[in-house]
Structures are given as structure tokens and as C-alpha cells.
Amino acid sequence: MLEIRDLDAAYGDIRVLTGVTLSVGPGEIVALLGPNGAGKSTLLNSIAGLLRPRAGAVRFEGEDLGRLHAHLIVDRGVALVPEGRRLFGGMSVEDNLELGAFAARARPTRAAGFERVYALFPDLRDRRRQLVRALSGGQQQMVAVGRALMTNPKLLMLDEPSLGIAPRLVRSIMESLAEINRGGVAVFLVEQNVQAALGLAHRAYVLESGRIALQGGAAELLSDPHVRRAYLGPLAVRP
């Protein structure tokens, strides 16, 4: 479904990604791991069209996304929950969600989208008239996921959804991602919380210094000595 081949990306003169090749299949949950500065967010931004690839191809269902404006990529069914959530803080929960249904593909499913989001995050239904900036971090993350879900995506990408929210809520967010995936949406997840990410994902890639260093099944990576040493720490318990 998502096919990335030999992708190079850069901010100005600073090269961030070199020859990244990866894929996400229909119905899959794929995690992208790696240290800070490895280029994980850059990769997601390149797929979403916020950054133009320098070289290589990003294809979604056979179409070259590198030529599309970001708002049209959303319209093809690729949604991104960006790092730091990037919600419209001065607007209500409901307005944020409604804006998620702005693209042409999402407008017919708007009403169903609201039901889907409120079923997934019942808290939001009660708070739908509140301003987003008055919500807690965890609730804001729910709005961010909900807003992306409103675009009626085939592929949902998330950039560090666990960042800055309470551990109890991290699990609940991960559970909701599994739930979304059971509804037929492929998930591409960037996470620092390796344990949580590999607990959820089917497959994972490890990105280091802009290159794919390692890839494999989630269970396989969890027991990989390099992954354990670098991302789970010396005290990590063997599963």
C-alpha cells in the first residue's frame, strides 16, 4: 500500500534521510523506531507532503505522492497525527474534529466519523464544546487521533503519540490504535516508547542516522540484542 524506495530528504543543506526503503501493507501496524534526530519525523513529513523528497519515490497505492500537495495526500487517504499534536487550540473539540473532515473524501463520512471518534474516545463527546487548549495532554492526543481519523484514512501515521502523556493514557492510546487497525486502517507508528510500540506493531523498522539499520517482526526485534541494548536499556526484562 505504502511503498518508499531509496528516499533522500534534507532540510536545506542538512541531509536527514539517505536511501530509505520501506513499506506498509494493507491492514498492517508498522512501527518506526530510532533515537532522537534519526530522521523519523522527517520521514513522516516527507510522506505527508510537508517536505519534498530530494530523491527516491513515495508511492501510495501506486500513485507518486511526491508530486501532490499535502492537502491532496490527505484526500488520497493518508493521515498524519503530527508530533506535538498541532491542534487548533483556540477552537472547540468539535470544530477540530470537523476540520478533519474537510477533504472531499471525508465529507460524505463526516457524521459516521464523529460517531466513530466518540465511540473510541467517549470523553471527547462530553467535552466537544470545550476549547482544545483547556484539555489535558492525554485528551488532546485523543483529539489529534480523532481529527486524523475524521479524514477517513486508509493509512494512519502517528508521530510519537505517547510523548508527554501519562503512562496510563499511553496504554489507552495504544489500545485505541489497535481498535482503529481492527477497523481496517493500516497504522504507521513512530515511537520512542519502544516497548509500547513493539507490543502493538506487527513489524518494525529501526532508523539510525537517516538510514534503515534494522527491520523485522516485532517479536524478533524485541529480542534483538542491539535493540535491547540501545532502546530498552540494560535493565530490560527478557520477554
Partner 1 sequence: MSVLAQQLVLGLLIGGLYGLAAAGLSLVFGVMKVLDVAHGELIMLGGYMAFFVVALVGLDPFVSLLVVIPLSLLLGLALYWGLFGFVVRADEETRVKNSLLIGFGLALALHALAVLLWTADERSIITPYGGTVLSVGDLSIPVVRLVSLGVAFALIGGLHLLLARWRWGKAIRATAEDWQAALLTGIDVRRAYLLAFAIGTGLAGAAGTLVTVGYSVSPSIGLEWTLKALIVVVLAGLGSMIGTFVGGLLLGVAEAASAAAFGGPYREVVGLVIFVIVLVVRPRGLFGR
Compute how many other C-beta atoms are within 10 angstroms of the C-beta atom of residue 150: 25
Check binding of 89 to partner 1 (CB under 8 A).
yes
Looking at the Cβ atoms of 38 and 74, the one nearer to partner 1 is: 74
Quote the strand ranges of the chain, DSSP E: 2-11, 14-24, 29-33, 55-60, 63-64, 78-81, 155-159, 186-190, 203-208, 211-217
The correct pick among 55, 99, 213, 230 for binding partner 1 (CB under 8 A) is 99
The whole-angstrom separation of Cα 207 and Cα 143 is: 28
Q: Decide if residue 56 touches partner 1 (CB under 8 A).
A: no
Least Å from the CB of residue 42 to partner 1 = 14
Q: Does 218 bind partner 1 (CB under 8 A)?
A: no
210 binds partner 1 (CB under 8 A): no
Please tell me whether residue 129 binds partner 1 under the rule CB under 8 A.
no
Minimum distance, C-beta of residue 69 to partner 1, in the bound complex (Å): 7
Query: In a 3-state reduction of DSSP, which class is residue 69?
Result: coil
Q: Is residue 80 close enough to count as binding partner 1 by CB under 8 A?
A: yes
42-57 burial, b at 16+ Cβ within 10 Å, e below that, comes to bbbbbbbbebebeebe
Q: Distance between CA atoms of 63 and 45, rounded to whole angstroms?
A: 17
Judged by the rule CB under 8 A, the positions of this chain that interact with partner 1 are 48-50, 69-71, 74-75, 79-80, 82, 86-91, 95, 98-100, 102-104, 106, 147-148, 150-151
